Structure 1
Amino acid sequence: MSTSNNPSSAGQSLDDAITAVKGGLTAAPAANQIDSWIGMLDLNGPGSQGEISLELKNLKDYISTNDSANIAHTLDALGQLATRAADEDVDEEIRTKLLQLGETLTGASTSLLK
């Protein structure tokens, strides 16, 4: 994340994302919240940032059209990207939060498909 030079800010942003996803898919993040997450990423930044940003844009589009199959697919992709980002050059606190976010996103994807 472009906030990686400020681990405290990045950590809080990850906590907010985890809380939003755990809130249940009936309380899906608002478009402005997704825009905020996209704004924190550097499209040309290192690692997974560009891919995560693209998937967040897809998620926003799918939520606006209530396309649950593609929402589930995008949540799973975001979960995999978050888990992969945890293996990038991040401090231990951010790594732990990225792993938790990845697990939460993948779980949300699975529950949506049931």
Structure 2
Amino acid sequence: MTIQKSVIVGLGEILWDLFPDGAKFGGAPANFACSAAGLARDAAEVLVVSAVGNDELGDKAIASLQDHRVDTGAVQRLDNPTGSVAIELDDEGKASYRFADNTAWDNLVWSDDLAGIASRCDA
């Protein structure tokens, strides 16, 4: 008897949190997928549907997802830059956020492949 794996999808932004002391990989859907892949191990197929730029941050984002055993086959590579948010802290430690405009994940292109993923995802 073959057990079919569940398909778990993180859909949305992949971005980098740009803190004063360095960049950290992020975006809620990407973070969710990394956590789900760690918990599911081989019991589920975990993937992200998003887009990153053809740039260094895009390369690093793909590598980070793959390091967490997340399938990146549905991450599109676009000419727009990879998403980022500049985070600044005031004297009291309160954060302010400035999101980059017109980034790759803002321009995700619908395709038959994405329709196929949508038809088979469980979560």
Give the TM-score taking structure 2 as reference length: 0.29
Which structure shows the bigger proportion of residues in helix conformation? 1
Q: Which structure has the greater CA radius of gyration? A: 2
Give the TM-score taking structure 1 as reference length: 0.30
